[in-house]
Chain A
Amino acid sequence: MTMLLKVDKAVKEFGALRVCNEISFEIQAGEALGILGPNGAGKTTLLNLIAGDLPLTSGRILFNDQDVSGQPANKRCTMGIGRTSQIPRPFTGMTVYENVLLAAQYGRRKSEADSYHVCRDVLALTGLLPLWNTVAGNLRLLDRKRLELARALATQPSLLLLDEIAGGLTDHEVHDLLAILRQIRAQGVTIIWIEHIVHALVSVVDRIIAIDFGTLLIEGTPDEVIHSETFRQVYFGIDTDLEPVT
């Protein structure tokens, strides 16, 4: 296996607030990595640093052995980093199909005609095909989440970043989502998945890192992490104001 992404002492500060504190980890091509951590731990910020939505305060991000720290988000997307956002950002005035078409046309630099099959496939995979001609502003939350995933997939990423994609879904919907994520993995896509629903996360990922207060606490197989003392303390320990995992 070859290293796809290396996060090297990533630091992000908002003024005096240090949200990411020298976080380092690597991910191999084809691997799926889970990220756990309580609300406000800095998980979304870390994803934003990897995707280029926020600049690093210090540290480096290497993608395919290339330093991408200075590259803007759109460049990283065309290099193969796709992402979904925790709060969906649909193009509300465009239809579902146009949302996905835009991702295929810009993320992969394809013509409209060359994008048709990619669009149809990702819409079918995410269950949005019947809604293809619906204006995205009229979608309910679940479908907006599906659209986030469909758009990210339409850029045909080699690394897919997922931010709480299962949040707010019913058990049945989570079950369907897991089937989709396994298919994406089977196509060789590397995945980094932030999720609070531990049993779902564990069933898909090979490795987990846990973060709290912007610091990487523990890294290991799902089994190792979930049964570790550190993890229990963060989630069930003395800090009662932290939200327990369901």
Chain B
Amino acid sequence: MVARNKSTPIPIVNTMNREYRLIAFGVLAVVIIIALPQLGGTGLPRQLSDLFVFISIATMWNLLSGYAGMVSVGQQGWIGLGSYATIVIADDLGASLFVSVFLAGIFTALVSIPTSWVVFRLRAGYFAIGTWVVAEVFQLLVSSSTGWLGGGAGRSLASIRGFVRSTSPETFALTTYYVAAAIAVLSIIVVYSLMRSRVGLGLTAIRDSESGAASLGVNTTRLKLIAYVVAAGMTGIAGGIIAVMSINVRPDAAFSVQWTAFMIFITVIGGIGSIEGPIIGAVLFYFIRNQLSSYGEWSFIVLGVIAVVMMLVAPRGIWGLIQQRTHFEIFPIRRLMPRRLLMENTPSTGEAP
């Protein structure tokens, strides 16, 4: 078995510059985020806030389904809960508007712990259906509160009026834009940090073979819970900013399965199982959606067809195609052996007797 050692050269990968490139891209992204609102009128920040929401929610769906292998169709549950939690925390409990958005994420993360006890009993397709049922239950509960939460007619985020009155509509739009951008950046940083840590290695292993991971010491339940709670919390924060961007929060819109359909479309188009994928997918979806806005219901059929064709032609999305050709990456997730270890002579334990 060791014979091949002597003949085949050991591939050595250049590990340098990976982090520097990421930092350069990060600085560039921040510059673009700050510069963009200067270009257009008041409409542009509002539109771009949508883009950041798409990046955030797709990045979290990708963490759950692409990296950890837990395919969920119930992420809209966290968006809806996050929206309503923001209203309650800001309007009823009196917290400041944009702080409430982040507190809503803590709320959804906490709620996701008991729901995990239910959905984690289910496997694969049943897990997906289970997450959907949980989201439907949330919607029913919220709709049934006709007084407090406004029932099916919904409730508006009154604190917005206070914010606009004490500042200006422009300041409100710009603040919303920056908070939405911060949420998108935070989502990406969270997923990147997770994937670079031991947790990320474990989650990827669970996706590929859960029993194999357990045999090598991975506490599979705990890791899956981490991914599930993080995705619920961050998606809840996105739900919060969605509430800020909406005139009125209604249960049927806030808990609409459409949100998860968008997440899936964005991730599949951009490239599942990569951090770059959902970002590219969100930008594309942002433009496609604007093009299709006049087609009404038909736009969904077009989106569906694009997604299916993409899955057949390029299962790893646009980013997968780019990587295949150029081996370029922005977020270095792959672990590499340190160069010095490969250069060293084979140790005593590695020699055939």
> What per-residue 1/0 map shows which CB atoms of A84-111 lie under 8 Å from chain B?
0100011111110111011101111100
Do A124 and B338 touch across chains, with their CB atoms under 8 A apart? no
Q: Which residues of B contact A154 (CB under 8 A)?
A: 216
Select which of A101, A121, A127 is within 8 A of B1 by beta carbon.
Answer: A127
State the CA gap A130–B12 with chains docked (Å). Answer: 9
How many A-B pairs with Cβ below 8 Å? Answer: 152
Contact A102 B11 (CB under 8 A): no
Within 8 A of B (CB), among A66-83: 72-74, 77-78, 83
| A129 CB–B CB distance under 8 Å | yes
CB-CB under 8 A from A53, the residues of chain B are: 211, 214-215
Question: What separation, in Å, do the CA atoms of A179 and B350 have in the docked complex?
Answer: 11
Judge whether B41 is part of the interface by a CB distance below 8 angstroms: no
Instruction: Tell me whether B347 and A97 are in contact (CB under 8 A).
Output: no
Interchain CB contact under 8 A, A127 and B11: no
CB of A120 within 8 A of CB of B208, answer no
Known: A101-B201, A105-B198, A121-B350. A129 touches B217 (CB 8 A): no
CA distance A106 to B213 in the complex (A): 9
Asked whether B349 lies within 8 Å of A83 as measured between CB atoms, the reply is no
Q: Which residues of A contact B209 (CB under 8 A)?
A: 89-92
Q: Are A124 and B218 in contact (CB under 8 A)?
A: no
B233 CB, min distance to chain A CBs, angstroms? 24
Q: Give the number of chain A interface residues (Cβ < 8 Å).
A: 54
Shortest A193–chain B CB gap in Å is 16
Chain B residues with CB below 8 A from A78, complex form: 217
Report the stretch among B29-37, B261-269, B329-337 that lies at the interface: B329-337
For residue B290, CB closer than 8 A to chain A, the reply is no
Chain B CB within 8 A of A228 CB: no
Question: Which of B2-10, B80-88, B149-157, B280-288 faces chain A?
Answer: B2-10
* Interface presence of A151 (CB below 8 A): yes
Q: Which residues of B contact A106 (CB under 8 A)?
A: 198, 202, 213, 216-218
Residues of chain A within 8 A of B1, CB atoms compared: 126-127, 146, 173, 176-177, 179-180
Kindly state the separation between the CA atoms of A116 and B65 in the bound complex, as whole angstroms.
30
Asked if B46 is an interface residue, CB under 8 A from chain A, the answer is no
CB B192 to nearest CB in A, in angstroms, measures: 16
In the complex, the answer to whether A155 meets B198 with C-beta atoms within 8 Å is no
Residues of A within 8 Å of B214, CB to CB, are 53, 72-74, 77
Most buried by B among A95, A121, A127: A127
Give B335-353 as 1s and 0s: 1 = Cβ < 8 Å from A's Cβ atoms.
1111001101011011011
Known: A121-B349, A127-B3, A130-B5. A116 touches B215 (CB 8 A): no
Given contacts A93-B273, A127-B2, A133-B336, contact A74 B217 (CB under 8 A): yes
A194 CB-CB contact with B under 8 Å = no
Per-position contact with B for A138-155: 1 when CB-CB < 8 Å, else 0?
000000001000011011
Most-contacted residue by chain A among B335, B338, B347 (CB, 10 A): B335
Interchain nearest-CB distance for A155 vs B (Å): 6
Question: B208 contacts A133, CB within 8 Å?
Answer: no
Cβ–Cβ < 8 Å partners of A121 in chain B: 347, 349-350
Other-chain contact of B335, A101, A152, A187 (Cβ < 8 Å):
A101
Contact A130 B2 (CB under 8 A): no
Is A232 in the interface zone, CB < 8 Å from B?
no
Which residues of A are found within 8 Å of B13, using beta-carbon distances?
Answer: 133
CB distance from A82 to the nearest CB of B (A): 8
B343 CB → nearest A CB, Å = 11
Residues of B contacting A117 in the complex (Cβ-Cβ under 8 angstroms) = 341, 347
> Besides the contacts A89-B211, A124-B2, A179-B353, what 12 more A-B pairs have beta carbons closer than 8 Å?
A53-B211, A72-B214, A73-B211, A93-B273, A106-B217, A106-B218, A119-B337, A124-B346, A124-B350, A127-B4, A127-B5, A180-B2
User: Nearest 9 A-B pairs (CB), nearest first?
Assistant: A124-B350, A89-B212, A176-B1, A106-B217, A130-B8, A91-B208, A77-B217, A107-B217, A89-B209
Residues of chain A whose beta carbon lies under 8 Å from any beta carbon of chain B: 51, 53, 72-74, 77-78, 83, 85, 89-95, 97-99, 101-103, 105-109, 112, 116-117, 119-121, 124-127, 129-130, 132-133, 146, 151-152, 154-155, 173, 176-177, 179-180, 182-183, 187
Q: Which residues of B contact A (CB under 8 A)?
A: 1-5, 8-11, 13, 198, 201-202, 204-205, 207-209, 211-220, 273, 334-338, 341-342, 344, 346-347, 349-350, 352-353
**CB-defined A-B contacts under 8 Å, sample of 15:** A91-B212, A95-B334, A95-B335, A97-B336, A98-B201, A102-B216, A106-B216, A117-B347, A124-B2, A125-B350, A127-B5, A129-B342, A176-B2, A176-B352, A177-B1
